[in-house]
Amino acid sequence: MEKIKRGLKTCRRCKTPIHENSLQDYCSRCYKVIEDVFDKIREYLRKYPGATAYEMEQRLEIPVHVINNFVKDGRLVEIPNGYLNIQCARCGCLLLSAHHKYCPSCEAEMRRGMQKATDELSNKITPVKDSGKMHLNHYLRKK
Ligand SMILES: [Zn+2]
Ligand SMILES: [Zn+2]
């Protein structure tokens, strides 16, 4: 391994000079930021083992190159993933995910749509007491 010259060690992220004996390649401030990002990734992978970098970019808003840096550092291991959805099943945007069929914005929209449908259903149909049958409200009012 090449010996690092005295005083020439700098933070890999912000280029601030750091102590040459520092175990990390980052200054303490950047180290904290990077650890926070890594915690998010770790949390996500615990929930979705085998998630892809693109998936994490979409879900966690962590740029792919940041995730790839962790791979380079050996903190993340890339594994071949044979069951990827290449496109969002709804809008067709690029989606490399082992766990999700839809992109985050489509998911949010579908959740809204589903909520709306449920609301409409519960507004229209009112169970009628003692009959055991369901009637639409406007039908009853006409009687
Ligand atoms: Zn730094
Ligand atoms: Zn979509």
pLDDT in tens, 12-54: 899 999 988 888 889 999 999 999 999 999 999 999 988 888 8
Which whole number is the average pLDDT over 7-12?
A: 83
Q: Of the bound ligands, which one is closest to the alpha carbon of residue 90?
A: 2
Could you tell me if 116 and 108 are in contact, meaning their C-beta atoms sit under 8 angstroms apart? no
pLDDT in tens, 25-36: 899 999 999 999
Residue 30 CA to ligand 1 center (angstroms) comes to: 4
In Å, how far from its chain's centre is CA 78? 17
Name every residue whose Cβ is closer than 8 Å to that of residue 103 and which is 6 or more positions away in sequence. Answer: 58, 88, 90, 91, 93, 95
